[in-house]
Structures are given as structure tokens and as C-alpha cells.
Amino acid sequence: MTNPKFSKIGIITKRNIHEHKDLLKKLVAYLKKKKKQIILDENAAAVFGEKGFRKTDLLKKADMSIILGGDGTLLKTARRLPSPKTYVLSVNLGTLGFLTECNAENLFEALDIIFKGKYELDKRSVLRVTVYREKQKIETYLALNDAVINQGAFARLIKLDLKIGDKNLVTFRADGMVVATPTGSTAHSLSAGGPIIHPKIEGLVITPICPNSLAMRPIVIPDTRELTVTIDTERREETAIIGLTLDGQDMSILKYGDQIKFRKSKRHLYLLRTGNRYYQMLRTKLKWGL
């Protein structure tokens, strides 16, 4: 299949893009020279004294988006995906850069390859998380990495009931649990003892956080299944909250009896790659052999 060609290019940036305004201006000049239509988000547009678009609106308009930031900016963008296919080139201006493709030094080399149509598509699944309270839908979220149910201020165990499809799996007590995509298997889930899952594996990782039973272990299930988690612990103190955290960035408060349903979204994020460096990335970022 022929790779899509891109003419409408969105630019999404982190908040402190003013620290990298020279790179942004150079990128805009490069895209104009390539005769591309440029769509700026609010942060990027402010550098030029313009208004700009909200990220969700920008993603709807652009054929592909260039993300100037890091993993955090990419994760925030992924939770706003407006359509089944969204193409992005992520540029690391941060510290970790686990998911990004390039840095400022090789950005234009990467863009030359992409505009010649010689890039590879790295398809990443997205987690859809829906909260129900008293059988009423409260909110639906997207997450590229993971959704975490965990404690608030008090270090007390919470009781969670897990069901896969219509089958009861287990009821257990723990500090919490992580539900991760393969992309997120190298994030919070890995820190909690979960496995590393290659992005092409079609699965979801369920990782308990400090369970009271050593028999509770991480499990990988097919991403065609729906996972339902019921909060079976009541908290009376206002400070003893139970939270649902998306990609380590957005948080929602959960209550006793809430049901949280997890499944793979119909939306996907397509990361533009100039080569397959997944295993190299693991060695470098996880410092294997050092």
C-alpha cells in the first residue's frame, strides 16, 4: 500500500515553546518552502502573534501533525484523537523521548524522508476508558499509555473486582492496578512489575500494584475483550480518595460501586518513522547492558 502524502501540516507544541522559538520559526519556513499548508496550535501561533487552533480542531484539519515537545506532549495529543487515523511525527525537546522519532538536530532530515513518501507507519492502539456510576455513564476517556486506579492520601488497600467480558476473573486487594496498552507497557506497568509488550502485539496488560496476595500477577489479555473493574471499597473520609489517572496526566475521582470499562478504541495513532529502531530504543532508554 502506498504511503499517504501530506499537504496540510499541523504543528503542536508544548507550553514553553518560546524556549525553542528559533526551531519553530525554522520549521515554518521549511514547510512554506515545501509549499505545505501550515496549521498552528495556540502555543505555536502565540510565537507569531496569531490565535491558532485548539489541538482537537487542529488534528481534524491536518493531514499530519508535527509534535514539538516530548512524550508528555505526545500523550496529551493522543487523548484528543478526533478520527480513526491520525498521523504524527513526534520530535523530542524533552528528557526521555521514549516514543518520539527524532530530535531537533535531525528533524529536517526526517521530514525530507517523509515528504518523499519513504517513511514507515508505526500503528499504536489507544485505550478507551468509560466510567459508570449507578448504571449511568459519567465520562469516557482515551489513553495512549495506560489508565491507573490507585489510592489517594492514605496507604490503605482497595478492593477491586475484575471481569473480562461476562466472565468473573478475580476479586483482590491492592494499592491499585494498571491497565496498559502495548505502548504503555514500558511506563507505569513496567515499574509495577509488568512485562514489556511489543507494540504490534494486540493485547492489554493488567498489572496489580502491590497486591496483598503473591498469587496476583500481571496478565495479558486479547484487546478484543472488554475489561470491567468495580470499585468494591468504600471511602468515607474526604481525603481518602480513589483516583483514575490517564497517562499519568489527567485524573478523575472514583467512588464506591463505580464500574470502569476498558477496551481498545477504534481510533489509532500512527507514528511516522524513518526506520525501525524499536529494539535499539529499548536498549538505549532502559540502559540494557550498561
pLDDT at 290 (0 to 100): 63
Q: Is the fold of 8-119+274-285 the same as that of 127-265?
A: no
pLDDT at 277 (0 to 100): 83
pLDDT at 156 (0 to 100): 78
- The CA distance from 187 to 67, in Å, is 20
- The CA distance from 237 to 146, in Å, is 27
pTM of the full predicted structure? 0.93
One pLDDT digit (tens) per residue for the chain, 290 residues: 578 889 999 999 998 899 999 999 999 999 999 999 999 999 999 999 999 999 999 999 999 999 999 899 999 999 999 988 999 999 999 777 788 999 999 999 999 999 999 999 999 999 999 999 999 999 999 999 999 999 866 667 899 999 999 999 999 999 999 999 999 999 999 999 999 999 999 999 999 999 999 899 999 999 999 999 999 987 655 556 899 999 999 999 999 999 999 999 999 999 999 988 888 888 888 888 76
Q: Which CATH superfamily is domain 127-265 in?
A: Probable inorganic polyphosphate/atp-NAD kinase; domain 2 (2.60.200.30)
User: In 188-215, which positions are buried (b, 16+ CB within 10 angstroms) versus exposed (e)?
Assistant: bbbebebbebebebebbbbbbbbbeeee
Sorted by where each begins, the domain ranges of the chain are 8-119+274-285, 127-265
pLDDT at 175 (0 to 100): 92
C-alpha cell at 174: 491492592
Residue among 55, 69, 63, 64 at smallest CA distance from 104: 69
Task: List the catalytic residue out of 41, 57, 63, 71.
Answer: 71
- Phi/psi region, residue 35 (left: phi>0; alpha: psi -120 to 50; beta: rest), is left
pLDDT at 236 (0 to 100): 58
Q: Which CATH class is domain 8-119+274-285?
A: alpha beta
Decide if 71 is catalytic: yes
